[in-house]
Structure 1
């Protein structure tokens, strides 16, 4: 059975599979200097943003990705004060970072300003911390930003990137990770999205190898569900300049009043468990 034009379908390249979402309307379509940005209203997943035809964020499931991209890294650091987000144009990760009271500065460096401006209109709940006094939005090349950063500028670097193709490919390189190491303070932590463990195991191995080659002391991958991304299962790979990835402030992450919808200290610990086929 083939689906008609009332469905948005993304084919997952080379995997013989796809995802389809029933749409009510397309409400925005523009070509930015970098990519095509489209916004749909769907029947069951709320608002959907796609970039160059690939799902980026939906109302229904974005919280899992944004929470797992931010909280494990920030709770692994003993006292995160200065945080850098590379990419993350929808601002959901920035919003989660700013839930941490220890954070004094959160800088977001996104290449395409139009992604953020469109998100501000169609995903206002993700952007509600953009005017926080601790937030700084920069529209620039994240690779160059990190390369130019003064040594010891940040406690945590979060690489909330698109797939490792085109301009984003450099965000998965040993050279970039070496620059992250330099930009981090002694207890620094870096985390980057690392695609599907089911579809992209070779990439995860490559990312781990590059982190270690760059000089990070300890590296581990976290696994979590993300139903609108390829395979419905996603990952983020985290590395520590000093200390162990397995050691995190579980008591702080379990504290009352820290509002999340997916992340908690038990999820954090479980996400570090490796499936047998990835050992």
Structure 2
């Protein structure tokens, strides 16, 4: 060999867009390509850029394999650099072309560090102390694969163990489950975090117990969305509830939660639950007037199948089928991450409900972008969520249910909005 290394610059065209946007698939393909070429793998680091694109590198003892993808153009740029003559980078090229289902691949090889242009320096390494230090120690292979939830201006990345435990492209969305190092199993829909085992209680305890502490006689509950099962789990802790109807549009979310998130999905077999796999918007439209004591809109972000859950028409139907004195809660986005949807939903609800019966409150959820998340409490001529709070009942429920986030002090404090949010909402 007349050079220190071989550097192959690769372009793959006409690839599968789905594969180029799949972090675990790309990472496993790159690792496999390195192994088959004869390389010794040291580590791998991969990031997803929502909604499109993956960047990553496999560090090998002989140098590296790197990639960046543009799924929207079905294009990937790959960088294969190997030192010495023990690794054949062209083997990696062939494997990756097949793995990405590329229609066409082009590559140029550059010899790096041509020996006839280099002068070897004499380096004094010192006397080695024992025979053990003379042996080559192969580093332990480590993986660093990241899930990223982002918009055009900010992002949240969470490291997971590399493999996707569940992945299904349903008629509505792509549902995935990852095993993260810090937050346990994580459910994602269309590359957006829905919940994680470690911090889901903040979301589910606040969306459910805030209204249920205020309204102790709730018997008939409707949940729109909430396919992970966390909301119905919290509702069915309350013995006075007689029936819960849950309408989830995507059966894949329920199935993924049942298989991989048992701590959330434990109530799916409860005898008081009626699970309907259908469109919640149409279900509410067909529901009778004054029928439900409480309605929970546990939706994902306002894109795809959940977009209609942020419309005026939907909430007019919610209001119609809520009984007088009834209560509704909805997840209402982040004041930082999705300010437009947050403000528009608040104004929409104030047009439908009495403006004095609409209250924004906050919780802090680390795996959601920016950490700050909002809910909105609305009543149909019912109780005020703070002035009508029964402190003793709140404390009793928190203790009896062994709640991890909600308590009587949090209940009141959650409605104390920072000045910038009150200003944002025009309050």
Partner of 2:302: 164
Contact 1:201 1:278 in 2 (8 A): no
Partner of 1:242: 381
Q: Aligned partners of 1:134 and 1:251: how far apart in 2? A: 27
Residue in structure 2 matching 1:251, options 355, 378, 392: 392
Residue in structure 2 matching 1:43, options 178, 181, 187: 181
Q: Aligned partners of 1:226 and 1:86: how far apart in 2? A: 21
Residue in structure 1 matching 2:333, options 162, 172, 195: 195
Partner of 1:61: 199
Q: Does 1:129 align with 2:129?
A: no
The offset of 1:10, in angstroms, is 1.5
Partner of 1:155: 293
Q: Does 1:270 align with 2:413?
A: yes
Aligned ranges 1:170-209 → 2 under 5 Å: 170-209=308-347
Gaps of 5+ in 2: 1-43, 47-55, 57-143, 423-427
Number of aligned residue pairs: 278
TM-score (norm 1): 0.94
Query: 3-state SS of the aligned residue for 1:21?
Result: strand
Aligned ranges 1:209-224 → 2 under 5 Å: 209-216=347-354, 217-224=356-363
Partner of 1:228: 367
Aligned ranges 1:133-148 → 2 under 5 Å: 133-148=271-286
Query: Residue deviations 1:49-70, cap 9 Å, x none?
Result: 2111111121111111111111
**Counterparts in 2 of 1:11 and 1:57: CA distance versus 1, 3 Å:** closer
Gaps of 5+ in 1: none
The offset of 1:166, in angstroms, is 2.2
**What's the C-alpha RMSD, in Å, of the aligned pairs?**
1.7
Say which one has the larger Rg: 2
The offset of 1:143, in angstroms, is 0.7
Q: Aligned partners of 2:251 and 2:407: how far apart in 1? A: 32
Contact 2:228 2:253 in 1 (8 A): yes
Contact 1:75 1:250 in 2 (8 A): no
Q: Aligned partners of 2:376 and 2:366: how far apart in 1? A: 19
